[in-house]
Structure 1
Amino acid sequence: LKTASDVEALYYCTLNRLEEIMEFARRMGYTRLGIAFCVGFKEEAALLGKILSEEFEVYSACCKVSSMKKADVDATLRPWVAEVSCNPVEQARRLNEAGSQFNIVLGLCVGHDSLFYRHSKAPVTTFVVKDRVLGHNPVAVLYSQYLRKNLKKRPEERLK
């Protein structure tokens, strides 16, 4: 708690989120960082890994590692969505096995991120939250009355 509070107090409104993550990791003495990323963010994950690897030992795990067929987990299938499900538990296992001391989530789906947090032995922070509709900026829904009005409707009602 002290380290997080120190980083916030010392660098309030001066560091972006990536800089805060790096400063927090430095102050905690972490040298081995993990990146759990969505395949849709593979380019961003590569760039993040390159930046972090200038100072840290970096390990990454793509969401499709040891993926499963959606039919095998009785998931809804849609023709325009891949029939392969992510495996956040395996992502966590791989980063645990690599000995990561601090993990960074990059765009995992809702639910998949929760499973990753639960199974990671190392502390986890989120760098990017996936929101395909709002350009990965989910807080935008709170700033727009037009978007907020849809919150009162169930998703299936919006498809009509």
Structure 2
Amino acid sequence: MNRNQIVRVAIPLFGTRVSPRCIYSDQMLLVSIKDNEVVSRKIIDTGGMSDEERLAQLVNLRIDLFICGAIEEDFIERADSFGIRVIYNVAAEVEDILSALLSGRLETGFGLSNQAGALASSVRAILLDREPVEESAQKKDRIDCVECIDRPCMENKSCTNDTKDLFLADEYSDLRHSMEVTADISAETDRKLCRIAEFIYYCLGMEYKHIGIAFCVEMFQEVEILTRLLRRFFKVSTVCCRIGGQTQHDAITAVEGMCCNPIGQARVLNSLKTDINAAVGLCVGCDCIFARYSEAPMSTLFVKDKSLANNPVSALYSKYYINDILKEV
């Protein structure tokens, strides 16, 4: 930052932290910085605003730097066109963010990827303080790879436990091709494949022609993009979670609203004779039910996480989320 110039910073709030998703933030902190010091602060209301309204607000406020959690790439590109720099995927207390900004340490991923090791250690400490559900005596009679001390698997060595009966080559005879394709993809060293690319390569390697997608109604936009991408390679059939149109009150529970129908999704795709099915954004219970009733092989392509921009693993790197989970359980 230019020390002699006033830099206007905006941070969407969730309590005393940056909001995990700015679109759900009802307040935003405005900070002015000069000579590497915070010279003013102000909190404004942003509840109910669309992305377009939020961007227009940033432009009108002449914001130079927008610090946020998860955010759409399109928003970042549009903000950049107005000269607004965006530092995103930030997960931390506001005071820690400002301290990092003033010291030149703040960058995209602050509080998540950049501090994953330290945060993971802190999270482990939190969990170790919590009374375990199982008694230690019960642990002796079962396999627990996490508690394994030697971990020979990390060095590509055979497991030292008495598990010879767990890997029987004959059981993989019908799955040999699938395992070979999987191994080829895992051995990719020239580039790091994203999950969707890995799914496409697997389907091509397996010579699949017809893909089924069982998706959540809340992810129509993402599935539309995904479907158009996959249709460059395959025939694609899509089924929304609300197929059948029954209300929860009439069908299962006394809760008002449309009822999800994972069995119906599976039956539709079964009738279409898909080669493989992908679950996209289904709730945990619906995901399990769909997997049970799907006749074709099934893979969860990506999941829904309303708090962490569909990236649930991020919670494991955050003391805030771990503590919040422990309070709820």
TM-score (norm 2): 0.44
Whose Rg is larger?
2
Distance 1:103 1:39 in 2: 17
Out of 19-28 and 38-47, give the one that drifted further: 38-47
The equivalent residue for 1:143 is 317
The equivalent residue for 2:102 is none
> What secondary structure does 2:300 align onto?
strand
Kindly indicate whether residue 215 of structure 2 is the aligned counterpart of residue 37 of structure 1. Answer: yes
Kindly indicate whether residue 15 of structure 2 is the aligned counterpart of residue 15 of structure 1. Answer: no
Alpha-carbon RMSD: 1.7
Q: Provide closer, same or farther for how the CA distance between residues 53 and 35 of structure 1 changes in structure 2, counting only shifts above 3 A.
A: same
Kindly indicate whether residue 206 of structure 2 is the aligned counterpart of residue 28 of structure 1. Answer: yes
Give the AA of the match of 1:18: I
Distance 2:316 2:239 in 1: 32
Q: 2:266 aligns with which of 89, 92, 96?
A: 92
Q: Per-residue deviation at 1:74? A: 4.3
The equivalent residue for 2:241 is 63
The equivalent residue for 1:158 is none
Give the AA of the match of 1:24: Y
Distance 2:310 2:191 in 1: 21
The equivalent residue for 2:303 is 129
> What secondary structure does 2:305 align onto?
coil
Q: Per-residue deviation at 1:154? A: 2.6
> What secondary structure does 1:113 align onto?
helix
The equivalent residue for 2:326 is 152
More relative contact order in 1 or in 2 (CA 8 Å, sep 6+)? 1
Give the AA of the match of 1:30: Y
Aligned length: 151
Kindly indicate whether residue 288 of structure 2 is the aligned counterpart of residue 110 of structure 1. Answer: no
Q: Per-residue deviation at 1:89? A: 0.5
Which runs of 5 or more residues in structure 2 are unaligned?
1-178
TM-score (norm 1): 0.87
Runs of 4+ in 1 over 6 A off after TM superposition: none
Distance 1:154 1:62 in 2: 30
Distance 2:260 2:190 in 1: 36
Describe the superposition over 1:47-81 as per-residue Cα deviations: whole angstroms up to 9, x where unpaired: 1111111110111101110142212344363xxxx
Q: 1:49 aligns with which of 203, 211, 227?
A: 227
Q: Per-residue deviation at 1:114? A: 0.6
